[in-house]
Amino acid sequence: MKFKTAYDIIAHILGLRLLKEQENVYVHKEDRSKRFIRTKWGFEPVEKHNLKVRVLYLEHEIEKLNRINEELEYDNEALIRKREGLRKQLGICQENTKRMKKQKGFINKLLKEVLDKNVALDKKYERLVKSKESADKQLENLKLSKAHLLEQYNDLIEKNREQKKHLQEFQKVIAGLKEKCKQGSN
C-alpha cells in the first residue's frame, strides 16, 4: 500500500479508508456507519460538525423567537391602546345617547359596532397572550436544547483532545520505527 501523507498512515492504522465520492471523509473498514472527517488535528467524527451546525441553527431560532416575542409585545401594546381608545369612544357615545333621544336608533347601532370591535379585540388580545406564552415555552425549550447540545459539544472537544494525545503517541511510535529502520539499514 502506498502512503502519500501522514494522514494516510494514520487512517490505515485506525482502520479507516477514504470515500471516493467525498473528499476528506473516511469510513471505518469494519463499521461503515462510522464516518470521520480529516482535519488538521487528525480525524473527527462527522457528528461533531453536525452539532456545531445544530447549535448555530438553535441560536438562530432563539433569535427569531425573540424577534417574534418583541413583535407580539408591540402588537399587544397597540391593541391595549386601541381598546382604551374604543372604551373612551364608547363612553362618549353613551353620553351622546342620553343627550340625543331623537337619534337613539343610530347611536344604538354605533354602540353595538363598538362593542363587537371591543369583543373582537379582547379575543385577539387573548390569542396574542396565548401565543406569547407558547413562544416563551418554545424559547425555554430551545434554551434547554442549546445547553444540552453545548454539553455534547464540550464532550466531543474532550474526545478530540484525547485523540490528539493518541496521535502524538502514534507519531512517537512512528518516529521510533523510522529510527529503527534507519539503524537496521546501516
Are 69 and 8 part of one and the same domain? no
Provide the domain limits for residue 13: 1-40
Grid coordinates representing 164 are 490528539
How many Cβ atoms are within 10 Å of 160's Cβ, its own excluded? 17
Q: Do 152 and 114 have their domain in common? A: yes
Phi, psi of 39 (to 5 degrees): -125, 180
Residue ranges, the chain, pLDDT below 50: none
Taking only the tens place, the pLDDT of each residue in 16-59 is: 888 877 777 888 888 777 888 888 878 877 777 667 767 777 88
List the grid coordinates of 25.
Answer: 471523509
Residue 28's H or E segment, with its range, is strand 25-28
- The pLDDT value given to residue 139: 93
108 and 138: one domain? yes
